[in-house]
Amino acid sequence: MLPDVRPDLRPDRPGADRRRLPTLLRAALCITALTAAAALLLPSAVPPPAAADSAPWYETRAPTPDGIGKVYMGREISQVMGHLGARWLERVSRLREELPERVVTAMDLAPDAAVADIGAGTGYFAFRLAEQVPEGRVYAVDIQPEMLAMMRTRLAERGIGNVELVLGTETDPKLPPAGIDAALMVDAYHEFAYPREMMDAIVAALRPGGRVFLVEYRGEDPRVPIKPLHKMTEAQARREMAAVGLEHVETQGFLPSQHFMVFQKPGSPADD
């Protein structure tokens, strides 16, 4: 999830007024610097997949500046934002840009639900989910040990006891089979190096009737100042979720710049 800074709004242009830059664009300058530092300091922290992939649903081509050159169902997969960009995930403006409290409320989780936050990062959503399921459990999944270390420290500081940290892989979130009621992915799915394998594993972890909540910046809207590969159209997301057997339930439009899409695994809770 990387912002796209318009050249005519860069503060280094003659006559530019830095104070007039929208909050998201000012934050973009910070995350661009952090991302560059990550590439220089830790070039192999989150390695891209191999250039060739044997799975029939992937294609390879020359990568674009923000992609990895791997194409799934017509969409080039984006580069991953590494742990050195963690400050971007905790920016103050995110409260009004992504409305996290409304997101977790809209999930309508039972107090004893088991829910997975896939690509949990710093725990921004996982900790809020923990409040929604006081009798349940939150699996905070990430493939970067550094992110898990940050969450571990914050969990101890806040005394949260119903969050389980899970080190996943690029192909497997390491969740218990048929063990969760819901999975949340916020600005993360478009970065999955192996989206088909990951979603197959997530579907296997869902109980019958379990739901997937997919939050992605709107790819249809050129006004959203996020780089194209870090956005998704609703149509593309629905195609990719249907490919793993998930049914589209609804797409809610309450977020300023993102889709809030709901998908469901066939069956009902009584079937498990």
Residue 2 maps to a domain: no
Q: 57 and 116: one domain?
A: no
CA distance 158 to 3: 30
Residues 60-99 pLDDT 10s: 999 999 999 999 999 999 999 777 777 878 789 999 999 9
Share of the chain above pLDDT 90, in %: 73
Residue 89 maps to a domain: no
| Cα–Cα nearest to 34, from 77, 89, 78 | 89
Count of structural domains within the chain: 2
Helix pair angle (195-205, 234-242), 10° resolution: 60
Q: 155 and 240: one domain?
A: yes
Share of the chain above pLDDT 70, in %: 79
User: What pLDDT does residue 271 have?
Assistant: 55
- Domain boundary residue, one of 83, 118, 150: 83
pTM reported for the whole predicted model? 0.81
Please give the sequence-ordered ranges of beta strands (E in DSSP) within the chain, or none if there are none: 58-60, 67-72, 75-78, 114-118, 137-142, 163-167, 180-186, 206-217, 247-252, 258-264
Residue 206 maps to a domain: yes
CA distance 115 to 124: 14
Residues 113-126 pLDDT 10s: 999 999 999 999 99
Residue with the bigger pLDDT between 27 and 198: it is 198
Q: 117 and 73: one domain?
A: no
Q: 109 and 149: one domain?
A: yes
CA distance 182 to 134: 15
Q: 101 and 59: one domain?
A: no
Q: 59 and 109: one domain?
A: no
Structural domain of 121: 94-271
Q: What is the mean pLDDT of residues 46-64?
A: 73
Residue 88 maps to a domain: no
What average pLDDT is seen over the chain? 85
Indicate which CATH number applies to the domain containing 219. Answer: 3.40.50.150
- Domain boundary residue, one of 83, 109, 144: 83
Q: 101 and 222: one domain?
A: yes
CB 226 within 8 A of CB 4: yes
pLDDT of 17 > 70? The answer is no
> How far apart are the two ends of the chain, measured CA to CA in Å?
36
pLDDT of 249 > 80? The answer is yes
Q: 13 and 113: one domain?
A: no
Adjacent-strand bridge partners of 258: 217
Residue 115 maps to a domain: yes
User: What pLDDT does residue 1 have?
Assistant: 52
Burial of 117 (0-12, 13-18, 19+ CB in 10 A): buried
Residue 1 maps to a domain: no
Residue 79 maps to a domain: yes
Q: What is the mean pLDDT of residues 252-270?
A: 93
Q: 37 and 100: one domain?
A: no
Q: 25 and 149: one domain?
A: no
CA distance 38 to 212: 31
- Domain boundary residue, one of 37, 52, 83: 83
Residues 29-46 pLDDT 10s: 444 443 433 333 333 344
Burial of 44 (0-12, 13-18, 19+ CB in 10 A): exposed
pLDDT of 27 > 90? The answer is no
Q: What is the mean pLDDT of residues 167-176?
A: 98
Q: Around 234, how many Cα atoms within 13 Å sit in the side-chain half-sphere?
A: 15
Q: 98 and 78: one domain?
A: no
Q: How confident is the model at residue 111 (pLDDT cuts 50, 70, 90)?
A: very high
User: What pLDDT does residue 270 have?
Assistant: 60
HEC readout, 183-206:
EEEECCHHHCCCHHHHHHHHHHHE
Q: 190 and 119: one domain?
A: yes
User: What pLDDT does residue 268 have?
Assistant: 80
